[in-house]
Amino acid sequence: MALPDLSVVDRQQAANERPVVNYAQSMHGSDTIIVLDTNGDPLDLTPWAHAAVKVKDRPANNVYYLNEFLDYGASIPDPTDGTVTIPFTGAQLTTAGPYYLELLFYLDVAGDPDEYPSHIVPCYMHVEPSLQSRDEVGVRISDVREALKDRAIQDNFLIDDIEFSNAQILWATFKVVETYNNALPPVGTIYSGSDFAFRSQAIDAVVAELLLIAARNYSRNSLQYSAGNVTIHDKERAKAYLALGGQMSAEFKAWATQIKIGINISAASGAVYNDYFTS
C-alpha cells in the first residue's frame, strides 16, 4: 500500500543517492524500489537469487547503536530491471520516523542465514506517522517540505523540480539528531531519528541543514553569464541560504546546550526541568 502523493513526492534519484522506502505507520503494505548502478541505470539483479532486508533506527557506529530493529526477506519480481519489493505488516511499523535500511543480496536460492551477502545496497526508510497509532514523535518529510515550501515543482520558479530529495531530508534528520546527541554537556538519553522528543526544534534544524547543503552546492556551481543583453546568475542565492541556514543551525545548537544544562541541573537537584521557565 503506497502512501499519499503528498508524502512520497520526490525528484529523480541520483546515481549515488540512497533509495528511500516509504510506508505508513501501523498499516499493511509494500514498496518497490529500483536499485541503480553507479551510472544511474537499473542494476541487473540476475546474479542474485535471494534478497533480504535489515532495518535499524541508528547507524552502527557506537555501542549504543547496535540495536537491530527488523530482519526479514524481500522479493525480486523482475531481476532484469533492478526492482525489489519490500513487504511490511502493521505490527512491524509501530514507530514512525526515519530509519537506516540495507538491501542484502545472496547467491543462495534458499537464503542460508549463515551465508554472507555478496552485495549490499544502503537505503533509507521513512515511516509516515498515522492517527492509527498513539505515537507521533517522528518528523514527517511533508513537515519539512511545508516549512521550506518545497512541496511540488510549482513551488520553485527558477528550477524545474523540487529542490531537495527525500534522501537529503532523511540525511538531514539523522544529522540533526546526532548533533543533539553529541552536544555538551552529555546527558543519559541517546535519541534516534524515530524517538527524538523535540519535534518542532527538529523541523527547524532539518531546514537549516538542507539550506546549508544547497548553499555549498550553489557556491560550487556558481557561474554568472549573459545572454541577449540579459545577465543571469541563477545560483546567486547561495549567500542567502548560507546566512539563514547558519543562523538556524546556531540557534538549534544553543538550544540543545541550554536544555542539556537544564536536564543535568534537574538530575542533580531532583527537580523536574522545564525549558519554558528559562530565558
* Residue 201, helix vs strand vs coil: helix
How much is the pLDDT for 210?
97
Block residue for cell numbers 544547497: 214
Q: Compute mean pLDDT per 10 residues along the chain, 279 residues long, and list them.
A: 51 83 78 86 86 73 46 83 84 78 80 72 86 68 92 83 93 95 90 87 97 93 71 75 96 96 83 48
* Residue 145, helix vs strand vs coil: helix
Q: β-strand 225-227 against 83-88: which pairing, if any?
A: unpaired
Residue 127: which residues within 8 A CB-CB, separation 6 or more? 23, 24, 25, 93, 95, 96, 97, 98, 99, 138, 194
Distance in angstroms (rounded) separating the CA atoms of residues 56 and 53: 10
How much is the pLDDT for 195?
84
How much is the pLDDT for 70?
66
Query: What pTM did the predictor assign?
Result: 0.84
How much is the pLDDT for 225?
67
Evaluated on CA atoms 200, 201, 206, 208, the torsion sign reads positive
How much is the pLDDT for 261?
94
CATH 2.40.128.110 fits 5-128, yes or no: no
How much is the pLDDT for 96?
81
Which 8-state DSSP code applies to residue 71? E
Amino acid at 122: P
Residues of the chain with CATH 2.60.40.3350: 5-128
Distance in angstroms (rounded) separating the CA atoms of residues 67 and 192: 11
**Cβ-based neighbour number of residue 19 at 10 Å:** 20
Contact (CB, 8 A) for 53 and 70:
yes
